[in-house]
Chains A and B, each alone.
Chain A
Amino acid sequence: GQNIDQPTEMTATEGAIVQINCTYQTSGFNGLFWYQQHAGEAPTFLSYNVLDGLEEKGRFSSFLSRSKGYSYLLLKELQMKDSASYLCAVRVWDKLIFGTGTRLQVFP
C-alpha cells in the first residue's frame, strides 16, 4: 500500500521558523511535491524534490532523504498569510499520492 504521514496541525508565531515533516512508504518513488492550500482554494505548487538534499526558494525550503523516506518543508520569517494547509505528495510513476495535509496556523 501507499502511506504518507504528516502532522495534522501545527501552530507558530509570526516571524518564526516552522518545519513540517513528511514520511512516506510507497511502492515507487519519482519525486516529492509540496503544495500549499488555503481554505476553499486550489492547491498551489511550492516545491519539487527528486534528488536528496535541500532546495531553497525564498522563504521556503524543502529537504528530501530518499533512503529514509523523509522530507520536510521549512518556512522562514512566517507571515500571517502562511496560515494554510501544506500537502506532501509523492509521485509514483505518473500518479501523485497525497498525504492528508498539515494545517498551519500563524499567530501574531
Chain B
Amino acid sequence: EAGVVQSPRYKIIEKKQPVAFWCNPISGHNTLYWYRQNLGQGPELLIRYENEEAVDDSQLPKDRFSAERLKGVDSTLKIQPAELGDSAVYLCASSDRGESYEQYFGPGTRLTVT
C-alpha cells in the first residue's frame, strides 16, 4: 500500500513569492490534515478536511494561506505571499477514522523563504 505522497520535497523561494504544496493521501482515507512543523517543535495543525469539506481551519492564517481538496482526494496548500517566518516543514497526513484515528504522515515539504 502506497503511503502519503507529497511534493515537492524541498522548496526555496524569496519572500513575497507564492508557493504551493501538493498531497496525495492513502487511498480510501477520508480525512486529510495539513500541519506545519518548525525546527525543534511538534507539528501544529493548519487545516483538516473530511472528504472535500474543511472542518477545522481555525489555525490557518487565512490572509496568506489557502487550501483546497477537490473531489475529496488530493489536496494543495498555498501561501501567497510567503514571509520569512513561513520557513518550516509542511506535513500532510491522512486517516480513515478507524477506532484509533491513527494518522499517517507524508515525508513533508521543507520550505525555506529567503
Spell out A's residues near B (CB within 8 Å): 4, 30-31, 33, 35, 40-45, 48, 50, 87, 89, 91, 94-101
Contact = CB atoms under 8 A, between A and B. Distances in A.
A84 B32 CA distance: 25
B48 A95 contact: yes
Interface residues of B, number: 22
A101 B56 contact: no
Interface class of chain B by DSSP: loop
Given A43-B105, A95-B45, 6 more contacts: A50-B100, A87-B43, A89-B42, A97-B45, A99-B42, A101-B42
B79 interface: no
A94 B102 CA distance: 10
Interface of B: 4, 31, 40-45, 48, 55-56, 91, 100-108, 110
A98 B101 contact: no
Contacts of B48: 94-95
B107 A101 contact: no
